[in-house]
Amino acid sequence: MISDLFAEMEREGFEEVVVFHDRESRLKAVVAIHTTVKGSAIGGTRMWEYSSFHHALNDALSLARAMTFKCIGAGIEFGGGKGVIAGNPAKDKTKKLLRSYAEFIQSLNGKFVTGEDVGVTNEDVRYMKNYCDFLTGINYDPSSFTAYGVFHGMKASMKYLYGEESLEGMHVAIQGVGKVGMELARILVENGARVTVSDLNRERLETCKSFGAECVEPHQIYRIECDIFSPCALGGVIDERVARSLECRIVAGSANNQLKSDAAGKILARRGILYAPDFIVNAGGLITVANEYIYGKLDEERLEREIEGIGDRLIEVFRLSERLSDERGEVISTHQAAIEWALERMRSGRSDSSSISRKYY
């Protein structure tokens, strides 16, 4: 827990933390802006019943920093930021509160661009748009683009391992067929892959069966002999035990923070399983909302190009992990290499070839 905010900001390179309170609407919110070196800070707004102000602050800071990594992984010229509203969305979320939050974000004058997250729906964002210019993720559902990005990440991983990117005839096991996993399963089946899925929700499994996927019970998905294991449900699913037992060659999925620990990443690397770092491979949705914010309407060709860039960034990181392992004489996992790759980009302020340009405020 953070005891000295200034020390934390200095250590982690935060630019700004804004705390907002409005007596009338009962809004209590924090916006953490990690960096605007490359452009506005971007990140969703979460509404959650935090047990204390410190928990809310902690969440805002850690999620904002993670967003900087995601922006680098997405190759977009934004920085990381995060908004949190303290309160129970089911009980405390009123139109007055949303308006007050929207006016607060407006007062930051574009330094922070936000959208939906846990506890804040697309409908809420649409309503807030009446009072704030700096909202995105309104007209397009990012999930299908996230799925498309994961698909490209899988192809790049195949190419890196086998020199051939086709997924035809490959067996992919997907954990979780929600908004992203379902679309991914569909794309994979269309591209000739054999797909096995698991979910806690039976209806979703039935839908997957209807387009040719096979289904297993949730606990069985880890044991499937397959080419690619794709975590698309929750974070932290690959602990050391799972890393030791997976029977696949590649791990590539949409879930955030898939590895429970760095040690799990190392075990995968030692076993010759190629792990596609989550914050790079799941960037398709972020690329989409960034495009929506800048251009309003999506230009499909440009968006497709930018999402396909996920594959290039992954290959860069895979090569880096190989090079660092050689140089240091120890296994450097792709996860660790991705962190070092992102930190280096952060330090150098290096731009990507993305067409998304700098500063929007």
Ligand X SMILES: NC(=O)c1ccc[n+]([C@@H]2O[C@H](COP(=O)([O-])OP(=O)(O)OC[C@H]3O[C@@H](n4cnc5c(N)ncnc54)[C@H](O)[C@@H]3O)[C@@H](O)[C@H]2O)c1
Reference 157, options 229, 252, 254; nearest CA is 252
Residue 254 interacting with ligand X (CB under 6 A):
yes
Among 25, 136, 198, 354, binds ligand X (CB under 6 A): 198
Shortest separation between residue 290's beta carbon and ligand X, angstroms: 13
- Taking the complex as a whole, the smallest distance from the CB of residue 256 to ligand X amounts, in Å, to 5
Q: Which of residues 330-349 bind ligand X (CB under 6 A)?
A: none
Nearer to ligand X, 100 or 354 (CB): 354
Q: Which amino acid is at 269?
A: A
Please identify every residue annotated as catalytic. Answer: 82
The reply to whether 196 sits near ligand X by the rule CB under 6 A is no
As to burial, measured by CB atoms within 10 angstroms (0-12 exposed, 13-18 middle, 19+ buried), residue 3 is exposed
Q: How far is residue 159's CA from residue 133's CA, in Å, rounded to a whole number?
A: 42
Segment lying near ligand X (by CB under 6 A), choices 58-66, 99-107, 162-170, 227-235: 227-235
Contact in structure between 69 and 342 (CB atoms under 8 Å): yes
| CA dihedral sign of residues 322, 323, 329, 331 | negative
- Pick one of 181, 265, 277, 309: the residue that binds ligand X (CB under 6 A): 181
Please check whether residue 40 is in contact with residue 117, taking contact to mean a CB–CB distance below 8 angstroms: no
d(CA 181, CA 179): 6
Q: Which is nearer to ligand X, 107 or 220 (CB)?
A: 220
Tokens at 266, concatenated: 């190392």
Q: Is 173 in the site for ligand X (CB under 6 A)?
A: no
**8 A C-beta contact, residue 199 and residue 245:** no
CA angle 360, 112, 234 (to 5 degrees): 120
* Contact string 116-155 vs ligand X (x = CB under 6 A): --------------------------xx--x---------
Residue 80 or 100: which CB sits closer to ligand X? 80
Q: Which stretch binds ligand X (CB under 6 A): 54-62, 109-117, 249-257, 351-359?
A: 249-257
Contact between 296 and ligand X (CB under 6 A)? no
With respect to ligand X, which residue has the nearer C-beta, 79 or 181?
181
Q: How far is the CB of 101 from ligand X (least distance, A)?
A: 22
285 binds ligand X (CB under 6 A): yes
Give the number of residues in contact with ligand X, rule: CB under 6 A.
Answer: 25
Closest approach of Cβ 332 to ligand X, in Å? 25
Per-residue tokens: 216: 């297993």
Least Cβ distance, residue 353 to ligand X (angstroms):
22
Query: Nearest residue to ligand X, using CB?
Result: 178
To ligand X, the closest distance from the beta carbon of 5 in angstroms equals: 27
User: Which position among 218, 295, 323, 344 is part of the footprint of ligand X (CB under 6 A)?
Assistant: 218
Q: Contact positions toward ligand X, by CB under 6 A?
A: 142-143, 146, 175-181, 198-201, 204, 218, 232-235, 254-256, 282, 285
